[in-house]
Structure 1
Amino acid sequence: MLNEAIEYLKSYDGPQINIMEVCGTHTHEIFRKGIRKILSPKIKLISGPGCPVCVTPVSFIDEARYLAEQGVTICTFGDLVRVPGSDGSLADSRAAGGKIKVCYSPMDAMEYAKEHTDEEVVFLSVGFETTTPSDVLSVKTAMDEGVSNFSLLTANKTMPNAYLVLKDSMDCYLYPGHVHAIIGTGICEELAANGVSGVVAGFTDKELVLAIAVAVKNAAKRKGYVDGVYSEDLAKENENKGFFVNCYPRVVKAEGSPKAVKLVDEFMEPSDEIWRGIGLLEKSGMKLKEKYKAYDARVKYNIPAFTAQGNKGCRCGDVLQGKILPSDCPLFGKACNPDHPVGACMVSDEGACSAFYMYN
């Protein structure tokens, strides 16, 4: 089956098919496994907004730097330390004497707060549906154990509204397997019923190749092509029909993870969120509910509003929306590189610019 899929992708000669791999891990794995090299020129992969660090807005970094300047200990994943704000990064805050601690999970941050009661500790809660349950669990544990010097600065995002906003950028989504392991496939079925196509993909080379082959075959059929032969009747029949295929059934189930969803729903509620380079998307984020405001850093420290924008020459937003390749940005590989990143997409290990720089 794998060999057949590889041959199909190599020899494909139907209509142009544009596939958006939403997940940053997919972007890097596709490069790392050499999958782009086997694709027909008529198959185009587009990198989307599936890197949580990349879509974290400038204003969030400014908020975190503000807290560091107030003497708050900032706990964060390593990638965020170098993401540019409007006037510097958390690395600059650390150089100026701010306490910036890299940790591997929100529970690590909570434990640090528990052991350092003389410090106010804020964890930078950044991520999609995959990591939000662990953020919530850290708050629940802090409450249960009476840890009052711990809170979250949230920039949690949810994918469904982003899918809707970007639906015209491609023929088919390569949906992130880990996100749908949490939220299930209901949203994918709903999108397909409304003409938006996609396949859920795993992360091994075999899983990715098979998922891309399924995506191409179904997308071509939707345009009226089967085995390179065009049928006007088939094209008309499928004109407004989306399709969905779960190519990662060993992990992704229709119901997702009800326990994780229930935990998040208990502590959080939808919020309008800014996505770097894309703008404000309604109900595309999650914030702590009012009754848990003691663990909401914005409320706890009365953080002022920050509205600054990033470097105007950086085209991360266009990259995240699939409008351009990273290499089309005039800063790529010149003013912007992994040692001196101008945009978030060059910083993160899941960023598209980082992938193009590393593997090209």
Structure 2
Amino acid sequence: MAENIKKTAKEIIEAYSGPKLRIMEVCGTHTHEIFRLGIRSILPKNIELISGPGCPVCVTNVGFIDEAIMLALNHNVTICTFGDLVRVPGSEMSLAGARSKGAKVQIVYSPIDAYEYAKANLDEQVVFLSVGFETTTPASCLSVKKAKEARLANFALLTANKTMPAAYRALKGSADAFLYPGHVHAITGTNLCESLVNEGVSGVITGFTANEIMTALAVVITRLQEGGSFFKNCYPRVVTQVGSKAAQSIVSEIMEECDSEWRGLGVIKNSGLKLKEAYKEFDARNKFNLPKVTGKSNPACRCGDVLQGKCKPSDCRVFGKGCTPLHPVGACMVSNEGACSAYYQYGGNING
């Protein structure tokens, strides 16, 4: 009867002795949780976890920061933004640096907060830095819809919204399997991941608790040993096949696909979102007639390679030396979801 007793996820993981497996945790929150929970310390040496591009702040290109600084310093715009964007380096300075030169930068917790700030300060032009994946984009769309309904003329978005499907395809072959971000697929559903199996892409959707992550890793290891491409939803309490229809609906109403530049991955066709023509008065680039900006990142920074799984943060020659959370050289050390900040905080030499 003993052969019928199911192994625990921990037993499956620790017992693996096959060829080397590379598993990419696409989501930055997964990276941090895997470190925090000590999961890397129990992995066999032939299982390598690599970080991917699932941190929206990290994949936002340098030129976007330069645009925001241009708006603040040259157009006297009040910038409303999430806190982790303030210290991301631009070509010459960060928003924190611009603030020291007189720029007005307000930290907000949601796009609706930025809308409310604009409504309460009609004498200021207010721009919200709309950065994020499918999870946060609906709230940006809602803020624009409310602004249009209120005829609010002093509110706009500077958009850098991105979508994951094209990124998954761009990363094809970089890992044996993906740990897909649970919060993204709570919005989009599972159809995309299921279709990617036909393209030879394997992965599982998982949540963020120890049990959920361990179960997902055990599923990946088991299925990779069986051979063939696969997909499994290991987060069914939150993720359904169809996702959130309400969130999908407001995004399709307000925004449309566009090409987008990803740090490390370059320009990926139809991987971004921009405001539709009917809402162009809320597009900061259109409203303030911004020129095309090509940012220049610090050549010592290897964030781009980290985001593609080509190297570990600790492989970067400035990691922990010239680049620390207090003095970041690149976005991956700034963001709360960044791989470099996770390696720095938790000690990145633990099996990874």
TM-score normalised by the chain length of structure 1: 0.94
Structure 2 counterpart SS, 1:167: coil
The runs of 4+ residues in structure 1 deviating greater than 4 Å are none
**1:318 matched residue in structure 2:** 305
- 1:9 matched residue in structure 2: 13
1:35 aligns with 2:39: yes
CA distance in 2, matches of 1:190, 1:85: 37
Alpha carbons 2:334, 2:341 under 8 Å: kept: yes
CA contact (8 A) 1:122 1:153 kept: yes
Q: How does 1:287-326 map to 2 (within 5 A)?
A: 287-326=274-313
Aligned-partner Cα distance in 2 for 1:177–1:28: 14
Structure 1 match to 2:318: 331
Instruction: For residue 304 of structure 1, report the CA deviation from its aligned partner.
Output: 1.1
Residue type at the aligned position of 1:26: H
- Aligned AA (1:326): P
Within a 5 Å distance, the mapping from 1:130-149 to structure 2 comes to 130-149=135-154
Q: Of 227, 230, 246, which aligns to 1:243?
A: 230
Matched, 1:55 2:64: no
Pick one of 103, 107, 110 that aligns with 1:102. Answer: 107
1:120 to 2:128 alignment: no
Of the candidates 22, 26, 46, which is equivalent to residue 30 of structure 2? 26
Choose from 328, 343, 346 the match for 1:356. 343
Gaps of 5+ in 2: 348-352
Report the Cα offset of residue 3 of structure 1.
Answer: 7.1
Matched to 1:66, the amino acid is: M
Shift of 1:354: 0.2
Q: CA deviation at 1:220?
A: 1.9
Q: Distance in 2 between matches of 1:60 and 1:2?
A: 50
SS at match of 1:147: coil
Amino acid at match of 2:114: A
The separation in 1 between residues aligned to 2:320 and 2:183, in whole angstroms, is 31
TM-score for both structures, normalised by structure 2: 0.96
Deviations 1:184-225 (A, max 9, x none): 011001101111000000010100000111011111221xxx
Q: Secondary structure at the match of 1:45?
A: strand
Change beyond 3 A, Cα 1:2–1:88: farther
Verify the 8 A CA contact 2:64 2:295 in the aligned structure 1. Answer: no
Q: Matched residues in 2 for 1:189 and 1:56: separation?
A: 27
Task: Give the superposition deviation at 1:308.
Answer: 2.5
Identity among equivalent pairs (%) = 62
Q: Give the SS at the match of 1:49.
A: strand
Aligned pairs for 1:194-205 within 5 A: 194-205=199-210
How far apart in 1 are the matches of 2:155 and 2:294?
A: 25
Per the alignment, residue 81 of structure 1 pairs with: 86
Structure 1 spans left out of the alignment, 5+ residues: 223-237
What is the CA-CA distance between 1:2 and the residue it aligns to?
Answer: 10
Q: Does the residue aligned with 1:332 lie in a helix, a strand or coil? A: coil
The residue number in structure 1 matching 2:259 is: 272
Task: Find the residue that maps to 1:53 and give its secondary structure.
Answer: helix
Q: Give the number of equivalent residue pairs.
A: 342
* C-alpha RMSD over aligned residues: 1.1
Name the aligned partner's letter for residue 48 of structure 2.
K
Q: 1:157-172 counterparts in 2 under 5 A?
A: 157-172=162-177
Determine the C-alpha separation between the residues in 2 that align with 1:141 and 1:277: 35
Instruction: Spell out, residue by residue over 1:17-63, the C-alpha distance to the aligned partner (whole angstroms, 9 max, x if none).
Output: 11000000000000001111111111110100000000010000000
C-alpha distance in structure 2 between counterparts of 1:272 and 1:173, whole Å:
23
Task: Give the AA of the match of 1:304.
Answer: P
Q: What SS does the corresponding residue of 2:86 show, helix, strand or coil?
A: helix
Write the distance in 2 (CA, Å) between the matches of 1:304 and 1:256: 37
State the one-letter code of the partner of 1:120. Answer: Q
User: Is the partner of 1:206 in helix, strand or coil?
Assistant: helix
Q: Which whole-Å deviations, capped at 9, do the CAs of 1:120-148 have from their partners, x for residues lacking one?
A: 00000000000000000000111112211
What secondary structure is seen at the aligned counterpart in 1 of 2:319?
coil
Give the distance between the partners of 2:278 and 2:143, measured in 1 at CA. Answer: 16
Contact 1:151 1:294 in 2 (8 A): yes
The 1:322–1:2 alpha-carbon spacing in structure 2 relative to 1, beyond 3 Å, is farther
